[in-house]
Amino acid sequence: MTISPALRWPLPKHDYWSTPFAESLLHHLDLRSGLGILDVACGHGIPAFYLAEHVGPTGTVLAIDASAGQVARARAIQGSHLPWLRFDCMDMRALPPDLPTFERITGNLSVMFFRPDRFKVVEGLVKHLSPGGQLVLTFPSRGTFDSLWRHVDQAMIWQGLINERERFQTYLYERPSIKDAQEWLQQLELERIDVTKYPLEVATGPGREFLHHPLLRGGFLDDVYECFEDQELAEAFMQRISEDTPRFTPLIAQRCVMSGWKATSSSI
């Protein structure tokens, strides 16, 4: 797609996590005025505002999120602008049967929230995709921050953290891969399937900078903490990890974009 140089609602430059993934999504999305779009796991509106500006008043964007707080924040940002954009609190894993179909379905960083059955959620989204419509989803795929996870795994082995390591391995292998995404779209008989990775480097220093990094805490690092029943032990373990950042940096996230088109005669 062509990005307009004079947008009122551009992607925010200082969101170093959501914006790069949204840029990848937009690179694959066939976007034009007048489209009806469903944006799932919309958060506070990246890229829903951008999508709405591009479809214009002849189009519609329904942006949904399971978090009432995120929806409230997005509505506060929107105010009275872009009236053809609507934010609703809705669980994409259980879409209402009377929800209409859409010409485009998007989801930035959405697939990570499709638990426990990711394929079933993608299948449900495709049911609400109009024949000839496009599905585009982004997520950090398996392989994201592998250098860190190898270091954490070795540290757990050295410290004899058997139960914690078992839980940790479950977290790692539960993350979807490019192969998973391709197989989902193939099973759903989508056409023009494209699943692509774009590496994204995340810089961090040691200690507190690492432990409270906005792109790591509240997400990836929390996966490690959740492997521990004793949170004091978890804090001590992670503090030691944080002192070893030169051994696993730079951190590389794998931005994954999955795109496919529904056949014009599809029965799904």
State the average pLDDT for the chain: 93
Domains parsed from the chain with CATH numbers: 18-140+176-199+255-261 (3.40.50.150), 146-171+204-249 (no CATH)
pLDDT score for 57: 96
Among residues 3, 30, 37, the alpha carbon closest in space to that of 19 is found at 3
pLDDT score for 4: 47
pLDDT tens profile 200-233:
999 999 999 999 998 888 778 998 999 999 999 9
Q: Whole-angstrom Cα distance, residue 32 to residue 26?
A: 11
Contact present, 89 and 68 (Cβ < 8 Å): yes
Q: Which amino acid is at 264?
A: T
pLDDT band of residue 175 (cuts 50, 70, 90) is: confident
pLDDT tens profile 134-171:
999 999 999 999 999 999 999 999 999 999 999 999 88
pLDDT score for 53: 96
The encoded tokens of residue 155 equal 């540290």
Contact present, 229 and 150 (Cβ < 8 Å): no
Query: What radius of gyration, in Å, describes the C-alpha atoms of the chain?
Result: 20
- Count Cβ neighbours within 10 Å for each residue of 35-63 and write b for 16 or more, e otherwise: bbbbbbbbbbbbbbbbbbbbbeeebbbbb
pLDDT score for 172: 86
pLDDT tens profile 67-80:
999 999 999 999 99
